Each structure stands twice: as C-alpha cells, then as structure tokens.
Structure 1
Amino acid sequence: MPAMGFREWIAAGRAIADGQLSRYGDDAHFTNSFERALSDLTGARHVLTVTSGTGALIAALAAAGIGPGDEVLVPAYTWMATPAAPVMVGAVPVLVDINETLTIDPEDIERKITPYTRAIMPVHMINAPCDMDAIMAIAKKHGLVVIEDACQSVGVTYKGRHLGAIGDLGAFSFNKMKNMNIGEGGAVLTSDDKYFARARSYHDLGAMIRGHEERYNEPEFVGVNMKVTEIQTAMLGVQLKKVQPMLERMRKRRALMAPILAQSKDFRVTPHNDEASAVSLTILAPSKEAAIALQERRGVWNRLRDSSKHVYTNWEPILAKRTFHPKMNPWAWAKREITYTPDMCARTLDILDRTCVVNLGLNYPDFMMRRVAAGIAG
C-alpha cells in the first residue's frame, strides 16, 4: 500500500488549521474534493466516504433494501466482514465456492441461487478481479443486486472498468492493509441516485436535514453514524494520487515475473480474469504438501489457507449463527433453514491449501526480482 508520509501530515494539518473538521459546512472542502476525484477516477456517479470498509458494505446493503428473509451470496474466501455485513441488515449469507482465480465461481453462484436470493457480493481478493461479465449476466438473468466488495482492490481495473463501479454498488476500504491507507476508512460507490440517497441517509441519521443535499425524492429513515472528518479525507486526497502509480509498478513487475514462474514444473501461475491488467501474483501447487514446501523458497509469502478469518472455516460466529442478541438473529427470520459445515466449500479449501502469494518486491530492482522468480521456479 502507499506509505503514509510528510504529504499526508501536511494535508491533515491544513484540515485542522481550517477549523472545520466536519464534512458538512460552508468551509468544508476536503471531503467533497476527494469524493469528486474518486468519482472521476472510477466512473461512479456518486461516492460516499464512510468510516470503514465494513461500514461501506453495510451501508450499500441498506441502500439496496436488503433485509430480513433475504439471502446474499458471498464467497467462502474473503475477510469475515463480507458475510457479516448481510447479518447486520437482517439478511443471511450463503457461501459460494471460489475457483482457481481466487474469486467467486460463477457456476457455483448459479447453483446457490434460490427464490430468496436478493444480492451477489463478489469480492476482488488481493487485487484479483472477479469475472464481472459473467456475474453481471447472472444478476440480470435472475433480477439480483450486485454489491462489489472491492475493499482489497482500490484502483484496480477489469477490462478497462474500475472495480467497485461495475456492479449496482461497490465498497472500498482505506485501512492500513489496503491500496489506500489512512489507518481506517471506506467508501460506497454507485451510479444509482436512489441507492446513493439511501446510503447517505443510512450513514448519517441527520443527512436528510442538510440543506444543500439533494434527496432524490427518497424519504428519511433511521440510520447510524459513519461520517468521516475532513482530516481523514484530506489524507485520502494525497493517497489517491499515489495509488495509480503504485498499481502500475505492480502491473509491470507482475508482467516481468509471471512468464518466468510459468516455466516451472512444480506449480502453475494462478489464472486471472483480466491478464492484461493483472497486478496480483500467486502460484498454484499440485498439492497442499507441495505448497507448504514452496514457502521455503525466497520470495514466496504465505499460503492462503493460513489467512485467518479470510477463510470461511474460521468465521466461527457465522458458522454458529451467533449475534449479539438472540431476538436479533437473521437466521431465525430466514425463509428456509440455512446450514453451514466446515466442509461445505471443499473446493475453496483445496485451492487455498495449494495457493501461495509471490512477493513482487517493488522496492527492489528488476534484475533482482528476475533472479527471485527464477529461484522460485526452480
């Protein structure tokens, strides 16, 4: 992720010096400026900055009217916030296998659709885009809402379109591990006026009384507080200028290393849904044991099965259907029995068992990373 530095410090200082820390007010401009810039970059008509990626997912679901009795399809490989977000609006997550691209499998999406399915939440994990053409076609066929979890792929494109701006709504995260980093933060993206008005209402229970806000004929409803400050968006404005150059370096380094790795007889380079713009690099071993052995080679990072709560078997509260209060449990309102078992997405576990992340080494010269790739390839 782009490093935090002097420019962010200066931007935060300017916001403090302005004395207008709220995103609302005649003197507030950092938030508006950032949202316009992110809208211009991604092509989404509306951008709403919020306090976290999790908050962005919840606000997007609320904007789309997802609620009790609804089922939301989520991949079995993603941070636990993705399945938790439907629970927070009263819906239930239905787990879908991934394929070798490490993203939600369109074929399994078709298998998991029921009369109660309302939304698909594709997740672009570790900068790897989902097969959005197939997903959007399925959604259109079945009348489903698509809410992209692009929290791990801010700035990444799929066939010339920005992730997060392809579906009906999208969610970004700006926490310390993401492509844009201010410690914590997020954004909702949409080109639908109604969804934007509803997301804004949900994220700020006073949003509809702001005199300068367009309401798009949407009535006010009870919301929460996910508002950001001018300090956060001042720093985001700086980070936004860094993300595209960083991703371009990643794309070039990936294009350099992947052909070398592809010559190996010990593994395959993970397939990608848009090879020309790929910025992520992982390798797929023939077995779990082979993947474990690959971790001993310089330049190979973690095996994805060891990714903690990114793997559905570690979503203990979801598998146990446990919420903060028994009468606020969406599974009790579901229109059919939803069951989760540790082996329900066995294909996902097999792929994660065999997949390792390769370090792109952006801080090292090309010749060194060629040698690293050759060493990994064996």
Structure 2
Amino acid sequence: MTKITQFINISKRLYSGATGKIKAQKYVLTKYFQGEPKESDFKIVEEELPELKNGEILTQAEYLSVDPYMRAYMIGYKLPTDMIGGQVAKVIDSRNDKYPVGSYVTDSYGWRTHTICDPNKPRLPGVMPLTRVPDISPHPISLALGVLGMPGNTAYFGLNEICQPKAGETVVITGAAGAVGSHVGQIAKILGCRVVGFAGSDEKCDYLIKELGFDHAINYKTANIQAALKAAAPNRVDCYFDNVGGEISHTIMSYMNKYGRVAVCGSISSYNDLKLPKVTIMQPAIVFKELKVEGFLVNRWTHRWDEGIDMNLKWIQEGKLKYKEEVYHGFENMVKALNGILRGENTGKAVVKVN
C-alpha cells in the first residue's frame, strides 16, 4: 500500500470532529516532473475550509479529469502548487440561489475533494467558466468533463474555427482514439468529410471505424505511415488536426493539398521527454503548399462556451455523436490515471470517480 493510499484511507472523512467544518484533501505538486509523473512528486494536503459567505457554494468532487495538458503545463508554476484540472462537483451547501444543494457544476478546481467558490465573482478573460451542468440524463454526469466539456469544445471549436472543413474534403487526426480526436473525427463525418485517424492499437482502429464511422484508421505503431496514408487518402489531406506532434506530423503535412489547414492542439508524443525530440523540418511543406498552421487553446472561446456544449448535446441526442469513457476509481489513483492517458491506454475520455 502506497503512502498516498494510506493517507486517503486514514483521512477520508467530511467533517473534523466536533467543529462540523469541512476538511478538503488536495494534491500539491512539490517536484517538477522528470519523465512520467510519480506519486512522490506530490503531497496530499488536508485543509479545513471556512464557513460559507453570502453568494458562495460548497462543492464535493464526484469526477476528476485527467488530460495530457496537465503534464505540460505544470512547469510554468512555482512550487509548491496545487495540481490543476477540471472536475464535476455536487453542490452540498449553498448561499447562492442559482446553485441549490444537489445541483452539479464543472470548474477548474484541480485535484481536490471539496471547494468553496463564488460563482458570481468576475473571472479574468480566457479563464474557463464555472458551468452548471444541465440535465443530460440518461447519460452520465461525467460527460461534463468529456464530450460536454473542455475536450468536446476543443474538438468543436478547433475543427470548425481553425480547420474550417468543407464537405468532401479529407480530414486526418492523430491521437484519434482519445477524448478530443475521437470527437473531431465524428464532427468531420457530420460535416460530410472523409476521415482518417491514427491510433496506437488495432483495437482502437477497429473502434474508430466500426463504432465511430471513420473511413480509415491506421495503427501508427505497426504501419508504414507514409504508404498507409497514401492508400487511405488518395486525394491527399485538406485538414490535419494534430494532437501528438513529432515525426508523424511532418509526414502528414508533407502529404497535404495546397492551402491545407492544420490545427495544432497538442504534442503528447513529447510530453514525458526530458528534451524535445528532433524532427524533420516542416517549413518547406508549409511554404510550398501554403499551409495555414495555427496552434490554439480552447479558452479562446470561453465567450461561446455554451454554444459548443449545446451543439454537442444536440448531436448526442440525435445519435450522431458517440462517446466512450475510461473510468478510474479512487482519489488515490489520480497519478495512475494521468500516466495511463500519457501512455495511450485510454479510448475516449479518461476520468477518475472520486469514491
């Protein structure tokens, strides 16, 4: 049994003795990651929360998100620092009429069990909005961290605003079986595109084709990428949604049509590397094919956040958008879950059920 597991088992409680006050547990990063994140990079800290003030709510985490960006972003914080991340939380006490007890919200509370916040407090531009989760039954509330949350909006806005695909065009996606990639491919199919996905196993490729309707799926670990791409996209590539970076991106971009569009969403292939890997220079393809290459962060569209959620929910209700979740169990397994997605173990969105 690890120290983290022992700590959780000892301190998993809501109230601190006779005071009746909430005690929250949270992950605090104390060491910058070297290679894969480790449990020893964190401490779990327990803190007593104050009484609620007017306008505030007290939430209890039910599902926590693990996403590749977490591995990359933490180098930008001064240590020690609370671990970042989104969560679906239940309101368990409230002094805000808009958020009654029993309702659910999503917000970037980080890896913690309980949080006090004021939903009416103004946020800085680009900061993710606190969102009250609508009634999405019979679907699980955890979708607010996936297709109806940040990954879903990343797919929706990244594809539509950056790539701007047109019916009949060919869209290629790396990391295609992940939370964002699987969603991007389905939107592209809804828009009438030919869709080719790259994933890391034959099982994932079968899922993309048989369940999600991709036209082709290529196992990048076993295929000759250049030959497989030519066979799957005989008319070359018009739009490339890049989740992984690395050498595969050079191969795809070199095979694009003139005036192709590239949405650079992430670089998961290098997140655990101690030094950035060297790849073939991409500028010749960008220049001679006159490609549009644009990186993006989804918080660019916080002012349109509900638009993405509403459209993705509509597509789910119409049966046009499918989803899959990889559910880990236990607050003590946050690091395990994060490493799982960095290794590509998940199909669809990975979440951690706290209890």
TM-score normalised by the chain length of structure 1: 0.31
TM-score w.r.t. the length of structure 2 is 0.33
* Structure with the bigger percentage of strand: 2
